[in-house]
């Protein structure tokens, strides 16, 4: 009996330990700003969003601005001679004080067909930035999410969902995240020419102007922005992103109050102010629309993008922080099932033990042995209530953290919890012999039910 009690205590400790891990998934990353001459940009987006070509053109724009040579073979993500070239892996090119990282493209997971691939891509990005950027003094300056815009000037929710994966990776969607101390997030609309975006109105991007000219230009640009196609595109993108975050915040009961809705709007505006949106179009030399004037305007956009990130600074994960860069592992429907499983098992088991406690208290003989059993049963109810309280607290405070539970941790928690319930059931069964046969048979039905539920769960 004492061995069983120790096993139950150990199992309870194991369940609480796993809950502590899950709680850590719900704690936002903390960044430190570092002094670095290097600007590091991470390109993300869906497959076909133009990341590789854009990355190459960013390097080209930097070379032109810095009067550096540009090698079409080795400074080109589209070239097979590019270092580390592999579409399914994270690739990078360094040029003087600029590093551009091209990550594998997410697949359109609208039908959940490619979610396993997207888990792997998130994991690769997490591993690369953790081992190559956040463990050094280089840090990460900015994350650029590329979106391929079609000729109809519309984007769909699946194009935006990839950004949610990126935001989750770095905890930007978490409550308590420090937006003033983190890598800059930008959105680049590809296949959107500068003239098209601003309704063919020219905009001067020259930085060599006095302060009054700049202020007048900023006011003029803001007026153009408010009345432009790009503004409508930005609003559309933000609306879709808000819907994605809302859907992912919703938990089993689907409750989503108005306060959270407003928090999401504030969150998006903090992550993506309008100056963090850019538009760019690549023109092939043999294209009917190719002209030097257009190329210059497009390259100025990329030059501005680089400068904005240079001025913003570089960041690393705080060294004293135990929080890691972790990808999304769990699908939303899997999270629902996980929550159902845990809450159902805890509620059913607690109710059965409370029934046992009531019956036992009516029939005990008030000897030392009975008191020991009574105390143990009360302790087991307390164990289950503590597990339930911890689980519910994590769920209410940061439901997104549950999406970062890996299959390994999911199965470990499932196994430990069901083992705990099963062993508690066995312990209760072993106390039946202190009652008479009729009472014992009645109770054994309750005990056996509880013990069997643990066995069925493990199967």
Q: Which CATH number belongs to the domain containing residue 69 in this structure? A: 3.40.50.300
Q: Return all residues near 173 (Cβ < 8 A) that are at least 6 apart.
A: 164, 167, 245, 248, 267, 400
Q: Are 161 and 202 members of one domain?
A: yes
Contacts made by residues 224-229, CB under 8 angstroms, sequence distance 24+: 224/198, 224/199, 225/198, 225/274, 227/199, 228/197, 228/198, 228/199, 228/201, 229/153, 229/196, 229/197, 229/198, 229/199
Length, in residues, of the chain: 459
Whether the CB-CB separation of 378 and 357 falls below 8 Å is answered with yes
Q: Are 133 and 36 members of one domain?
A: yes
- Give residue 205's pLDDT band: very low, low, confident or very high (50, 70, 90): very low
Q: Are 104 and 178 members of one domain?
A: yes
Domain count across the chain = 2
Q: Is 80 exceeded by the pLDDT of residue 71?
A: yes
| Structural domain span for residue 126 | 29-317
Q: Are 248 and 137 members of one domain?
A: yes
pLDDT at 42: 98
322 located within any domain: no
Q: Return all residues near 133 (Cβ < 8 A) that are at least 6 apart.
A: 40, 139, 140, 316
Last residue in a domain, options 291, 317, 343: 317
Q: Are 276 and 414 members of one domain?
A: no
Name which of 70, 69, 73 is nearest 82 in CA terms: 73
Write out the H or E segment, with its range, that includes residue 184: strand 184-190
Last residue in a domain, options 317, 339, 359: 317
Largest CA distance in the chain: 97
The mean pLDDT of 2-24, rounded to a whole number, is: 88
Q: Are 116 and 226 members of one domain?
A: yes
The mean pLDDT of 223-238, rounded to a whole number, is: 79
Last residue in a domain, options 284, 317, 350: 317
**346-358 per-position pLDDT tens digit:** 888 888 887 777 7
pLDDT at 447: 47
Q: Are 226 and 88 members of one domain?
A: yes
Q: Are 297 and 344 members of one domain?
A: no
What is the residue-averaged pLDDT of the chain? 81
323 located within any domain: no
Q: Are 128 and 149 members of one domain?
A: yes
Whole-prediction pTM value?
0.82
Q: Is 90 exceeded by the pLDDT of residue 49?
A: yes
63 located within any domain: yes
Q: Is 50 exceeded by the pLDDT of residue 201?
A: no
325 located within any domain: no
324 located within any domain: no
Q: Is 70 exceeded by the pLDDT of residue 219?
A: no
436 located within any domain: yes
Find the range with the poorest average confidence among 48-62, 206-220, 231-245: 206-220
Q: Is 50 exceeded by the pLDDT of residue 202?
A: no
437 located within any domain: yes
d(CA 438, CA 359): 13
Q: Are 432 and 297 members of one domain?
A: no
Q: Are 154 and 198 members of one domain?
A: yes
413 located within any domain: yes
């Amino acid at each position: 009996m004492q061995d069983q009690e120790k096993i139950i205590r150990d199992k309870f400790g194991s369940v609480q330990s796993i809950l502590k891990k899950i709680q850590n998934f719900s704690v936002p990353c903390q960044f430190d700003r570092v002094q670095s001459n290097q600007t590091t940009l991470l390109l993300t987006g869906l497959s076909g969003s133009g990341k590789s070509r854009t990355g190459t053109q960013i390097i080209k724009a930097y070379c032109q601005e810095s009067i550096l040579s540009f090698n079409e073979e080795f400074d080109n993500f589209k070239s097979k001679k590019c270092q580390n070239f592999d579409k399914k892996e994270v690739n990078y090119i360094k040029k003087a004080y600029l590093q551009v990282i091209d990550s594998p493209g997410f697949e359109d997971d609208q039908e959940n067909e490619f979610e396993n691939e997207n888990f792997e891509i998130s994991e690769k990005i997490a591993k690369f930035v953790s081992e190559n950027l956040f463990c050094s003094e280089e840090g990460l300056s900015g994350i650029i999410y590329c979106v391929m815009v079609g000729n109809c000037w519309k984007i769909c929710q699946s194009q935006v969902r990839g950004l949610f994966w990126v935001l989750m990776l770095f905890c930007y969607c978490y409550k308590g995240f420090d937006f003033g101390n983190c890598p800059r997030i930008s959105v680049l609309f590809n296949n959107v020419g500068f003239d098209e975006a601003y309704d063919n109105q020219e905009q001067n991007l020259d930085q060599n102007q006095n302060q009054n000219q700049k202020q007048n230009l900023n006011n003029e640009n803001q007026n153009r922005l408010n009345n432009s196609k790009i503004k409508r595109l930005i609003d559309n993108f933000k609306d879709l992103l808000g819907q994605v975050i809302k859907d992912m915040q919703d938990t089993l009961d689907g409750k989503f109050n108005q306060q959270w809705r407003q928090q999401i709007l504030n969150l998006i505006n903090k992550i993506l102010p309008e100056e963090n949106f850019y538009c760019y179009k690549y023109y092939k030399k043999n294209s009917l629309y190719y002209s030097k004037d257009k190329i210059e305007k497009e390259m100025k956009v990329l030059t501005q993008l680089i400068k904005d990130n240079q001025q913003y600074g570089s960041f690393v994960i705080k060294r004293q922080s135990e929080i890691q860069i972790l990808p999304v592992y769990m699908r939303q429907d899997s999270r629902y099932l996980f929550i159902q499983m845990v809450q159902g098992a805890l509620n059913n088991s607690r109710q059965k033990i409370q029934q046992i406690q009531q019956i036992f208290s009516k029939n005990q003989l008030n000897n030392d042995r009975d008191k020991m059993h009574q105390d143990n049963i009360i302790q087991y109810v307390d164990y289950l209530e503590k597990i339930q309280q911890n689980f519910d607290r994590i769920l209410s405070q940061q439901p997104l953290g549950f999406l970062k539970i890996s299959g390994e941790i999911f199965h470990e928690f499932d196994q430990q919890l069901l083992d705990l319930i099963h062993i508690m059931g066995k312990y209760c069964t072993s106390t039946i012999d202190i009652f008479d046969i009729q009472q014992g048979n009645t109770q054994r039905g309750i005990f056996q039910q509880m013990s069997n539920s643990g066995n069925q769960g493990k199967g």
